[in-house]
Structure 1
Amino acid sequence: MISMDESPLPNIIGFLALASYIATLIPTILRIVFPQTKETGIPQWLLKRRRVIGVMAFFLALGHGFLMVQKRNFDFFDIKTFWIYIQGVSTFIIFTLLSITSNNWSVKKLKKNWKQLHKLTYVAMVVLIWHIWDKMSGHWTYLTPISLAAITIITVLFVIRLWIEYQSKQQKNAAKVAKPDLVGKGIR
């Protein structure tokens, strides 16, 4: 029989951080993968609040990390500690960078680099699957399967989104090539 542990506070906060993070990914995925959801207003509502939700995800992740460090009494001068928790540390560093630059001033100063920097969120998405699986294997709580399912589904939907965007780009490029150049023939 499968037994599940009770969710301690750090795991609950980690789950809330994950849910908030997923909420930042949903608007664009819904707009592209499920365009009919535009009519509901949910993607627009989430899009308007994306930065605030992302910063909230950061602070929840900070709380999760703080409580885990406190609970496990980590030795920060031991390289093995960093190797064991590389997924959590990596995700936290990404969330920190995204959180610090989630403001209008950063958008203006970084310009195109801001979008490039915020693409790190997709790296975090994949690392989070690894983090949840690795850290919870052997002592799953009721939140573990929900967390894994949610981040895996959003990752699969992200890949579908990329595929749709790729196909759309290919169709646009094909249409440009197929369109005759009438400017050089005297037709204006």
Structure 2
Amino acid sequence: MNTLSLANTLGFLALFTYITTLLPTILKIIFPRIQKIEIHQFLCKYRRFIGILTFFFALGHGFLMIQKRNFDVFDTKTYWIYLQGIVTLIIFTLLAITSNNWSVRRLKKNWKKLHRLTYLAIFILIWHILDKMSGKWTYLTPIGIVAIAGTIFLFFIRIWIEYKNKQKKQKVK
């Protein structure tokens, strides 16, 4: 397997594990009964570990891409070209560093606010995939695009349900 194939595979694994960290909450709100299913309970229990795994896959992907493409740290154009990947990696780094009980206790309510950055990463990732893989699709690209687009669709359904529930609560008051 050449470096580019390995980098693409690591990127796909990062995307897959990332989506795996998002689905429990999204699906719990859309399909409340899912909480009783063992796979949902497993994903909730190991979500932080899977998130850290996502970070390492993304880090490996980024490292191999930098190595392959001769990333020039002194050229500002380089940062613009790789903006989506860099921002996503920064988000994943912040989330990985704070995915522990100590951070939850120390940051309190701010921990939850910080971890909401994960939803920003959804949109940056689809932009990243479409931009970087344009004209260079591998067999993993359409799978990744469908998976992240499906996750975004489910995320919007979640937002809509939460909005409707909030409206109902306000009417009751």
Structure 1 residue aligned with 2:159: 162
TM-score by length of 2: 0.96
**Deviation readout 1:65-96 (Å, 9 max, x if unpaired):** 00001111111110000000000000000000
**Deviation readout 1:24-71 (Å, 9 max, x if unpaired):** 001011111122322322221101000000000000000000000111
Structure 2, unpaired ranges of 5+: none
- Please identify the structure whose Cα radius of gyration is greater: 1
Structure 1 residue aligned with 2:87: 90
Q: Name the CA distance, whole Å, in 2 between partners of 1:118 and 1:170.
A: 25
Q: Which of residues 35, 43, 46 in structure 1 aligns to 2:32?
A: 35
Determine helix, strand or coil for the equivalent of 1:141.
coil
Q: CA deviation at 1:173?
A: 1.2
2:53 pairs with 1:56: yes
Structure 1, unpaired ranges of 5+: 1-6, 177-188
Q: Which of residues 13, 16, 19 in structure 2 aligns to 1:19?
A: 16
Q: Which of residues 79, 102, 121 in structure 1 aligns to 2:76?
A: 79
Higher-helix-fraction structure = 2
TM-score by length of 1: 0.88
Q: Name the CA distance, whole Å, in 2 between partners of 1:107 and 1:78.
A: 38
RMSD: 0.9
Structure 2 residue aligned with 1:113: 110
2:146 pairs with 1:149: yes
34-43 or 165-174: which moved more? 34-43
The amino acid across from 1:24 in the alignment is: T
Q: Which of residues 62, 65, 77 in structure 2 aligns to 1:65?
A: 62
Contact 1:28 1:43 in 2 (8 A): no
Q: CA deviation at 1:127?
A: 0.1
Q: Name the CA distance, whole Å, in 1 between partners of 2:97 and 2:32.
A: 31
Consecutive aligned runs of 4 or more in structure 1 exceeding 4 Å deviation: none
Q: CA deviation at 1:20?
A: 0.4
Structure 2 residue aligned with 1:103: 100
Q: Name the CA distance, whole Å, in 2 between partners of 1:149 and 1:117.
A: 27
